[in-house]
Structure formats: C-alpha cells, structure tokens
Amino acid sequence: MKSAPDTVLDRRLSAELERLHAANLYRVRRVVEGGHGALIVVEGRRCVNFCSNDYLGLAADPRLAQAARRALDHSGTGSGAAALVSGFNAEHARLEEELADFVGRPRALLFSTGWAANLGVLRALLGRDDTLIADELNHASLIDGGRLSGAHYLRIPHADMRSFENALAESSSANVLKLAVTDSVFSMDGDVADIPALASACGRHGAALMVDDAHGLGVIGDDGRGVLHHRFPPHPSPLTPHSIDVYVATLGKSLGAAGAFVAGSDDLIEFLIQRARSWVFSTAPPPAIAAAARAALGIVRAEPARRERLHANILRFRHGAAALGLALGIDTGSGAASVSTPIQPLVLGDAVRALAVSRVLFERGYWVAAIRPPTVPKGTSRLRITLSAAHTPEQIDGLLEALHAALATVAVSA
C-alpha cells in the first residue's frame, strides 16, 4: 500500500503524478515473459507484438543467443571497466570493424546505448561558439545532447529545407563549427529525411552533417546498409560515403541486440575516443552483446529475404488499412511517404481514445502501445504500429480486423 507523502519532495512529486493521471499521460510498465519476438507474453497474455523496433525479427533469433552464449563462456558477463582502461574486448574490436565495413566508413566506435552515442558526440564536437541546426522532431537524445552542448541551438520546423538552408546561410561566423543534425527515419511518423538535400546544403555553407540512422540501418539502403546506401528518388544512385560526416545507428532495433555505434573518419573516431564523455567514462558493453550483434550483422548480410518479407508486410498492412479507410501517418510536409519504413502511425488525436483503442486491441491479443505527449506533440496521440519480417500475413490481416472493430467500439462508447 502506498504511503502518504511526508517530505517536501514527495509532496511535489505526488502532485505531479496526480496531474499526469488526470491528463491520461501516466505511463505504466508491462512485464514481458520470455522472448521479445513477433509473439510475446505480456502480463500472462499471449499477444502478437506490433509495437517493437525488431524490424527484421532478430531479437528472438536463436543464432544471436548462441553467439552470446559462446562469448559468455569465453569472456564472461561483464567488461569490468571502461574501454580505455581494461574493458575493450576482442568482440568489441571485431564488431567495430564489421560495422564500419557494413556502412562503408573508415572507422566505427561502439557505445553502450544510442542515447550515450548522441550525447557523447554532440557534447564532444560542439562548443559555446558553435551552432547546431536540428530538425524539431529529432529523437530526444539529439535534443538533450544539443542542449547540453551549450552551442547555439536552432530548431528547424520538421523537414523544412528552406528553413535549414536559411539557418545554414545565416550562421556564418568564422572559426566555428556549424553542424546540421537529423534523424534518417523519424521514429514516431515513419517518414524519411531528405538527406541528399541536407548534404548539399551543408556543402554549400561549410557545415557538417550528422545523421541518426537508428530506424534505417538494416531496413533501408542497398543490402540494408542504411541511409548512406539508400536511393532517394529522383537520385539514381546512393549518397557518397562522405555525404554524412557523423553517422550514428543502434544495434537494438533491426539487429536485435543492444548498444549503438558512431561511424566516420579516422579523425572523428580518434577525437571521440579522447573527448566523448559518455564513452570515456562508461563501462564497456558486455562482450556477449557485441557477439550477438556480430551474429545479427552476418544474418542481415546473408539473408536479404528478411528485408523482402518486411517490405511485403509493410505494403500488405498499408493496402489493408486503405481498404478499411484507415488514414495512416501524418502530414509532415516532408514529401517523403512512409511506405518504405516499418513505422506506420495511426494518429487518433486524443490520448483517451488512443489508450482505449490500445486496450481493446490488447484484449483481442494484439499489443500496440498508445503513444502520447510529450513523446509526440499535443493532439497527435497515436498507435505507433510497427511491422516486422517475422509477422505472418495472417497476423497482419488479424490486426487490421481488430483495429477496425476496436475503432468502431471506441467510437460507440464515446
């Protein structure tokens, strides 16, 4: 039983928690038993999982677990120290080499999380006289990293190239760094940033470009090699390797493991080794996790059919939703459709309605989390539906049927 708040801090926190409850913005963890694949057991209920970032279905692949077990037997459970002390294991070194080769950059540096990577990069590269020019819908780690850097921070309306261009042109002080930063695939809307236009603008105005490809690696680009190898219409060929100065991606989404990495030039990686505080002062990730990520990378290379199934599943879901009159996505003004990405948001507007529809789906055996402010802007609460290569056509059709019924039920109840 919860006790009554009896300190100044507890009274303050209790009032804020009550406010979140009243606004339907209170968040609750749900316990998952067993693996985190397309089929998942949530608080004892077996569900089809349509809210994971496990886009290629690798999180529950036994080959990753086997690789991790071998590394556990050989290297133990923990790294014991930061990489600059005694924590840099051979598994980490091999993974960095393979990641750099996969994305086509000279070097890569392994971080414990995507959050640590983005904060570490932005705080290391930017000073108070520098300028950060960032899309307003970037991931929270990029937002916080930009704020903590102390640089002049210019937030640009989402995907507004004219505003990016103007900001780059106006930030022209000598001997300072101008850094434009964007997600590649935006995590809540599923649209793709116009990276060729951003790279061209940065080139014209002497700026560097940083891209967080967390939701692109393994999904988009030739052979799943991410945004650096993606063909942006109407451009006939992928970007050049040097189009993106700082490339960040995670290992816990399409690769089904954990952690993140930064890829770029030799000088970039060497500088981050010296100055990225979230890397320098963090214990290195467990070697077994690096081994699992290496196994996943090998599967991505060897099994292109996984990406083909994923994109077939995306199209099946979108066609089925259109047939039911369900409007997916949100008008971002980017001109880039979300057809090619696994993130398919159904925007419901009101947090109460989003929670109600999510609850009905859960009762029918489908787990789709309701996403509410502050994760998304006020008035755009949604179901963030994500597709995986592991979903079957029957599961996708079942979700569509359940969505249609849930929306009708909630509308009647309202």
> Could you say which of 178, 229, 253, 311 is catalytic?
253
Q: Residue 95 belongs to what H/E stretch?
A: helix 90-103
Active site residue 253: yes
Of the candidates 218, 152, 155, 220, the one whose C-alpha atom is nearest the C-alpha of residue 182 is: 155
Environment class of 35 (CB within 10 Å of its CB; exposed 0-12, middle 13-18, buried 19+): middle
Kindly provide the residue ranges of all beta strands, DSSP E only, lying in 118-253, ordered along the sequence. 131-135, 152-156, 178-183, 208-212, 246-250
Token pair belonging to 244: 């993106």
**What is the C-alpha separation between 215 and 227, in angstroms, rounded?**
10
Of the residues 158, 178, 215, 311, only one is catalytic, namely 215
Among the listed residues 187, 282, 338, 388, the single catalytic one is 187
Contact (CB, 8 A) for 156 and 209: no
Q: What distance in Å separates the CA atoms of residue 301 and residue 56, rounded to the nearest whole number?
A: 12
Phi, psi of 235 (to 5 degrees): -70, 130
Residue 378 catalytic? Answer: no
In eight-state DSSP terms, residue 215 is T
Neighbours of 180 (CB within 10 A): 26
Instruction: Yes or no: say if 102 and 306 are a contact pair by the CB < 8 Å rule.
Output: no
> Is 382:370 a contact under the CB 8 Å cutoff?
yes
Q: How far is CA 249 from CA 208, 288, 316, 409, in A?
A: 17, 19, 27, 40
Tell me if residue 2 is catalytic: no
Which residues are part of the catalytic machinery?
Answer: 187, 215, 253
